[in-house]
Structure 1
């Protein structure tokens, strides 16, 4: 998530474009890129405002990697020096010892010209950025970090379902995850209306799919659900008004609203969501869209814990033998 949005992005008077992650090294069992899986070696840096970083937060919780992969959380408001560790004592990350995330980027590549984005994984011994490749980070947490998973961790990327997960995840990315940004940062009417149409066409298709099944792929939570959830949970708070995706609210689609509440109430999902960070970031950082910086008081959040009745469709959050994660560590609890 860069200064004006998640991932690496380009803005201005030209069409919105999301560029590829620049640092795509992988942390694997074999360590082909020089980064072997190792407990305690790496630090995951996130913004709780960012949907791409939220994927990694959810995966880490579900898989029980809290003790193996430490967590740094940045202030939801950046300045022109990038994401800041102002939430920590002395305004420094207590593990990395840095005040700004760009310091880890600079340690990897001097005068790197791109945006400083989250999620980012940093090598603790050297302070060097390892990767900001947000699509691959969660896949590797699910498949390469298995030796460090908690007992009862779910399989979020089952091999037999990977083709279907990949296909639906690509549709979700193109039309929903990225679609809301294309609408929100559109600089002309036609560009905006095309993105708006894509968003709601895909949401309607997803609503139809989820009307008869509890989860997107198979009978249990997978990577596909994580990728959709992080946009849906932000929809009414920021995308409906701030990004002009206002045909209807999430709460006005009975299927998607129940589906998102079902996930929100599953340990590992809702306990990673910080609505205050989300609203503070979008409404105060996106000054081109909201020049006053006024943060809306709503929406009402009381409905998130109401019954969803999705269990009537069959399926369970976790497959037999898998269990929910325990409570988050005290230092990571959102209050």
Structure 2
């Protein structure tokens, strides 16, 4: 039940990316994360403790989806509680950003909050950015403790390691950490994960074309890499694979609607498409991928002459069957029946 002594907080209307995060070239410049105190044993760092934190994420948001996947892969379900945010159909409520749309009374049952923004403004009343997911909230204060999507999964993999389930996969092995960080920070983030948003939010054709070239050139590079590697770093799933997967799961189902003519669908990259399905076969990936929510149409009433493809057909598409089609990726591995490195 919500704590009685937590004071209510005043929240503000959500800023719009295309108004506040566009530079003079018309290019999208994603807002920096506000709450980035790391987890660790040092002075001033956050401490990993069972039951202290609650993860909020959204089905459509790949930045937060990867945290929910890693939480389940590592067996942290009883250590870090979770709830999902979304949007109701009420336009006045939507102005305040993510809300607890999946709860019957539109309130988070643990904290009593109606909007994700409450945790942001309680932590910083002068906060001016968007209230984003993932958000890891301190249940003692009902304040955002960390919203650093760049590093949150790494903290789950390291700081929370004493609480991992028995036989949990090592997604961030020490011998590969520098290489994983390099791929995550210098390739996947700028060109793939954020690359699709750079295309979708671009306000000039120059900025759009630049993001388009970055995205598809990088896909070509990764397609070649996956020709001989089962996963991005060889035989075993790592943190990088989670980050790549969440964008792949959304491209053909959602992102394409906000782009102009695309070079290729993900399903037209033989190695990447097989790789994505290999990951989807893992329960934690499947459980945390809500294709029908990702693909939900914009005009469910279908009263207009021209209605977008997803509004007409997405509910009838068996995404699970498509993504469960057989693939032969395991033969690229020296341990074909094992997808994880276990300490």
Is the shorter-chain TM-score for this pair beyond 0.5, marking a shared fold?
yes
RMSD of aligned Cα (Å): 2.3
Q: Residues 251-297 of structure 1: CA distance to partner in whole angstroms, max 9, x if unpaired? A: 111111100000011121121001122234x958xxxxxx9888432
Aligned to 2:340: 318
- When structure 1 is superposed on structure 2, of 16-25 and 239-248 the one drifting more is 239-248
Q: Aligned ranges for residues 48-63 of structure 1 at < 5 Å?
A: 48-63=59-74
Aligned to 2:249: 233
The equivalent position to 1:265 in structure 2, one of 249, 273, 281, is 281
Aligned to 2:39: 27
The equivalent position to 1:215 in structure 2, one of 218, 231, 247, is 231
Structure 2 Cα separation of the partners of residues 104 and 51 of structure 1: 21
| Deviation for aligned residue 1:72 | 1.2
Helix, strand or coil: the match of 1:268? helix
Q: Which runs of 5+ in 2 are unaligned?
A: 1-13, 300-305
Aligned to 1:308: 327
Helix, strand or coil: the match of 1:72? strand
CA contact (8 A) 1:179 1:196 kept: yes
Helix, strand or coil: the match of 1:91? coil
Aligned to 1:275: 291
Aligned to 1:254: 270
| Deviation for aligned residue 1:199 | 0.6
CA contact (8 A) 1:258 1:308 kept: yes
Structure 1 Cα separation of the partners of residues 35 and 307 of structure 2: 35
Aligned to 2:5: none
TM-score, with normalisation over the residues of structure 2?
0.84
Instruction: Decide which structure has the larger Cα Rg and report it.
Output: 2
Helix, strand or coil: the match of 1:129? strand
Q: Which runs of 5+ in 1 are unaligned?
A: 285-290, 323-335
Helix, strand or coil: the match of 1:122? strand
Structure 2 Cα separation of the partners of residues 33 and 276 of structure 1: 42
Aligned to 1:10: 21
> How many equivalent residue pairs?
309
Structure 1 Cα separation of the partners of residues 79 and 64 of structure 2: 18
Aligned to 1:37: 48
CA contact (8 A) 1:85 1:100 kept: yes
- When structure 1 is superposed on structure 2, of 69-78 and 161-170 the one drifting more is 69-78
Structure 2 Cα separation of the partners of residues 311 and 218 of structure 1: 11
Aligned to 2:303: none
CA contact (8 A) 1:59 1:138 kept: yes
- When structure 1 is superposed on structure 2, of 17-26 and 52-61 the one drifting more is 17-26
The equivalent position to 1:64 in structure 2, one of 75, 92, 99, is 75
CA contact (8 A) 1:47 1:76 kept: no
The equivalent position to 1:192 in structure 2, one of 208, 211, 219, is 208
| Deviation for aligned residue 1:89 | 2.7
Aligned to 1:46: 57
